[in-house]
Structure 1
């Protein structure tokens, strides 16, 4: 049985072009925009729903339904949704049963998955006896949504452009390493936030179009262009956080002083802390055992009335719901106060820092050169689709 759908927001046209150019910029470095090898049109695979008992799928236009092998089995009517459910190792989509199904909107339509509209098409498949939906979407169209979800559309255009290049680079880095997996990225901060059409805005779409195909490279390879909200004044060296060696993720001064999370504090009652960090009783002392040169907590020993535990900074951050692992704990009677700075892991580009530099008049290549040291701004070339 089909259900009527609400109409999606009007889409913004994707302006495709192929170009090669160069220019030199930099706070202290000289960059040259270089061409990378020509490749076919790039699609991202985004897992927008994972391991659900059932989900709804539909289309803003008539959609073609294909089986796992790509053979057409029928159509979905415009503006109606159907339920997809798992049946053992197979799926049931409306009246069809099969190993997996493609739903491909016709005439530039949008696909509907569980109350959210997306560009592109969707592959639904069984995973561990549940239903997973993967949105296959053009790279630039994917970025239309990511940019609007990751950075406010009201921010300076140069900051938005810097975010677009970083997000494109990160997406392609992930894509190159996920060929054997079911998808390239998820829709959350674990990778990049993706909300479909709902997070698109004219300003963010313009920033994606203005930087179309541009990526950051180091040693001829697209970089892992991670980013975060705010570092609290200074970003981190990657080896201090992830024990990896990436020469372009170096500690640099941040320009995020306007961030509302530049400094923050949280307070917990002794009982609240005991509920969130179990096994030690009431907290008596908190002693960082390992910190980065910038003060970010890597491990901390918690001594309580009935035991002790050593946690990583990330583990304690998650247990207490803190914004970052750049914090200090003070026990004040029956209250535990946590004072901290920044939001996120502190690696790569700070979004609030990018905003700060843009407001000072820096262009997006300069912003990127600051946060990703020694990188080159390159242009992927997309083969013409005739």
Structure 2
């Protein structure tokens, strides 16, 4: 996540003008997200609606399940195509769902909400997703924090992410680590529950004027055991709720990193350009990429060495701020009179550490909290702690705190010192479907040139809920809800408490127009204030809602009076027992690269099964919230893409009463190395005693002979032919 000091000041001043009561009345906001991370840069994309959508510019309906193409055209125009037929060419497209729950797949990734498609850099099609905050967060939390982690850690992440997004609600953010990773409508159950259980809650602090203002929900993967100030990272004014302090729980996570660079990267003597390969290919590639955008664009580069690499000048949080690096290199276009490449050098002294991190790669240097630098005559090794900037919430620290029994408010209280949890909003605005003109534009299935014989008049009027009345009988523990509806609809009814927890009573229950009366059992609810959530949806999917309140009062009469046997009605006991997972076991076939998980469940449940690596990162979802009958379960999976090492299969089971249990089973992948062979491409190829052109020739190979490749050493292979073993140049082995 990046941060601008100027934009932060503007946002703080804006929120300082709003009173707490005004913000509490706010409706759920819409987040604008530019889709970059998963989509990349594409001049043509495919969209596929699930449920119908309207293209605002052309008065056209996009049909459920049908694929369409949006292409960039010259002069910053976009063309929407149905197959090969052009629907419209325009500078931007607005695509809006007819029903709130419809979703649009863009290059096979689903997204809720509406969309704006624009041209970008006179080259690409760029979608901007307009999505409700809570739906956005359900696509953020499991991709910023592992879904299998503790619920309280995920709830802390949900509040931080909501606060962070609300701080930036007036701008268009993107779906990458520049802001928050957003994967669209690919939700996972544990994190979805965490978002729902914290709905509308954000962090606020008291500003200089005594007003409650929105905090900034900054977070990183790990602070390495010590939190950092925003001032040290971004140079902005230090915020009191983001102080520097020790974090013993993050330290328990022991997130460490290390990378090594060779001082000498290659020796160009007696080698062609294609034969020269740096000793540290990954780091050399990052440095060359950085150089290409800093004065060496279009140049072919090779690194000769990195003789100097160091860091210094720590700030108050212990993280370094400055560094030195020297890069020796050659370019293909610069040779002397003898045709030899001319050595060149870049020397950076006392430059920002961020520049050096960008040069070597953030995938190598995870943070600025450096613990050790070791230098030998041949190499330099840099070691450090944590992952990310260290400001605000630590994700690993939150998980360790949740494992120790802390709830999400306690976790947030540590990372955002003095901040308060505030209910910013409760309900979502009523969705209003877009309308078409009386005659639709030609779409799939219509024949151009034929007169349309029927006009489509869209019903856009939601049902009207009126005369709502609630009568609570605190003795019989019942409530009678009545209201009037003006048209046939489907009714969804839930009870919500003051903590925003919802208990659904009815879902999509058919209603006729007229008076409606429902009797609801309240015996399982404690005393307090509650709300009936009434949602009605008509045949055209127009939606209306109401949220009347009522109060349950527990008196001696209501708790001690026992009805006579003739009047007692049995009340089903609320299921509070989680499903039982037993006998979880993984068997592995390291020859066929297959794995099989077996376990038992004692009741039908929604199962999620994920495959995790040794660090707990989810690398594959084998089953995603799939309803499964009780009994013996078997789940096969493929090991071909896994490296050798230890893995865990995590199982989550959730029954219909939302009770959840989990289990796991570990296994080890040990693959036998496959024999690698190659064919000689040179007429004669010397096999040498070591990886050097000066080494003794031990055998001479001929063209088309096959060799067994034993190992790799820079630009050399160690090979075996018959009984002979030696080193040959990679360039002559195919």
Structure 2 counterpart of 1:52, from 42, 48, 56: 42
- Residue 309 of structure 1, aligned match among 348, 366, 375: 348
Shift of 1:73: 1.6
> How much does 1:34 deviate?
8.3
How far 1:277 moved relative to its partner? 4.3
User: 1:190-234: per-residue Cα shift (whole Å, max 9, x none)?
Assistant: 100101122x11111110010000001123221221100001110
Post-superposition Cα deviations, 1:282-329, rounded to whole Å, max 9, x if no partner, equal: 333434342123331211122567452033222222222221122243
Shift of 1:164: 0.4
Q: Choose the corresponding residue for 2:395, options 338, 351, 359.
A: 351
Structure with greater strand percent:
2
- 1:105 paired with 2:97, answer yes
Aligned mate of 2:383, from 325, 339, 350? 339
Matched, 1:232 2:224: yes
User: 1:81: Cα distance to partner?
Assistant: 2.0
| One of 190, 211, 214 as aligned partner of 2:178 | 190
Q: Counterparts in 2 of 1:203-214, with a 5 A limit?
A: 203-214=190-201
Task: Indicate if the aligned counterparts of 1:86 and 1:126 stay in contact, CA closer than 8 A.
Answer: yes
Q: Please show how residues 139-178 of structure 1 align to structure 2 within 5 Å.
A: 139-176=133-170, 178=171
Task: Give the structure, 1 or 2, with the largest relative contact order (CA under 8 Å, sep 6 or more).
Answer: 1
Indicate if the aligned counterparts of 1:302 and 1:308 stay in contact, CA closer than 8 A: yes
| Runs of 5+ consecutive residues of structure 1 not aligned to the other structure | 1-32
**Residue deviations 1:112-138 (CA, integer Å, cap 9, x gap):** 112211111211112332321011111
More helix by share: 1
Unaligned runs of 5+ in 2: 1-19, 82-86, 266-279, 292-302, 329-344, 431-543, 545-734
Cα pair distance change 1:361/1:35, threshold 3 Å: farther
In the superposition, relative to structure 1, how do residues 324 and 92 fare at CA in structure 2: closer, same or farther (>3 Å)?
same
CA offsets 1:315-346 (integer angstroms, 9 cap, x no match): 22222222112224322232221111110011
TM-score if structure 2 supplies the norm length? 0.44
1:63 and 2:49 are equivalent in the alignment: no
Instruction: State the shift of 1:259 in Å.
Output: 3.2
- The residue that corresponds to 2:26 in the other structure is 39
Residue matched to 1:318? 358
TM-superposed CA distance for 1:51, in Å, is 5.6
Render the CA deviation track for 1:63-116: whole Å, top value 9, x for unaligned.
22112xxxx621112122211122213211112112321222333211111221
Structure 1 or 2, whichever has the larger Rg, is 2
Match of 1:30 in 2: none
Is the contact between residue 55 and residue 114 of structure 1 (CA under 8 Å) also seen in structure 2?
yes
TM-score, normalised with respect to structure 1: 0.82
What's the CA shift string for 1:129-185, capped at 9, x where partnerless?
Answer: 232101111100000010111111111111011000000000000114x2xxxx2x1
Tell me the SS of whatever aligns to 1:197.
coil
Alpha-carbon distance in 2 for matches of 1:186, 1:236: 25
2:408 is the counterpart of 1:372: no
Deviations 1:332-381 (A, max 9, x none): 23222111111001111100001111111111111111101121211112
The 3 A distance-change label for structure 1 pair 258 and 55 is farther
Alignment of 1:59-98 (within 5 A): 59-67=49-57, 73-87=59-73, 88-94=75-81, 95-98=87-90
Contact persistence 2:159–2:203 (CA under 8 A): yes
